[in-house]
A = this chain, B = another copy of it.
């Protein structure tokens, strides 16, 4: 990726600065998914499995809230500064994503 594309990508994707941190969190979530399979495989007690599912859901939500915060800070704020219809579209898109998170 050349410098210009990188600048462009940096502009659009506010989470890139913390890319490694997000990858680490997602790998841990992948590990939780494997842990759940092991629990089902070994016929662990249902309530203990549910406790792990709740922990994994919380970890996922926390990743989503982090990404959303960076998206608002960078992408939405930048679009607002540039003005025009772009800002409205970015807000609409963010609001729709928030609604999906709240309802999931």
Contact = CB atoms under 8 A, between A and B. Distances in A.
Given A26-B37, A57-B61, A102-B101, A68 B81 contact: no
Given A65-B102, A81-B81, A97 B40 contact: no
Contacts of A64: 50, 53-54, 57, 102
Interface in A77-91: 77-78, 80-81, 83, 87-88, 91
Chain A, interface residues (CB within 8 Å), range: 35 or more
A60 interface: yes
A69 B97 contact: no
A3 interface: no
Contacts of A27: 37
B80 A76 contact: yes
Interface in A19-65: 19, 22-23, 26-27, 29-30, 33-34, 36-37, 40-41, 43-47, 49-51, 53-58, 60-61, 63-65
